[in-house]
Amino acid sequence: PPAKQFSTASVEQAYQWLFQRTPVEEEMLVARRFIEQALEADNSEFGAWEQFCQALLATNEFAFVD
């Protein structure tokens, strides 16, 4: 996605790659808030999308097999 905007399709693609599913409505809302806040802050060495992906990689759902 363009680095300076939110993209529903990009969030869905990240969930597909990492969890083999689409995000539920609440996860999409959290993703939107997270990315938009990170874009506003814009004071990190990592961009909003990089931070979002790192957060997904740190989830229990990614780390552990159910």
Q: How confident is the model at residue 52 (pLDDT cuts 50, 70, 90)?
A: very high
pLDDT digits (tens, 9 = 90+) for 2-40: 567 788 999 999 999 999 999 999 999 999 999 999 888
pTM: predicted TM-score of the whole model, two decimal places: 0.83
CB 12 within 8 A of CB 23: yes
Task: Note the pLDDT of residue 2.
Answer: 52
The CA-atom distances, in angstroms, between 29 and each of 6, 15, 26, 64 are 11, 14, 5, 24
Tokens for 19, please give them.
């969890």
Residue 56's CB: how many other CB atoms inside 10 A? 20
Which stretches within 1-66 are classed as H helix? 8-19, 25-41, 48-57, 60-63
Q: How confident is the model at residue 43 (pLDDT cuts 50, 70, 90)?
A: low
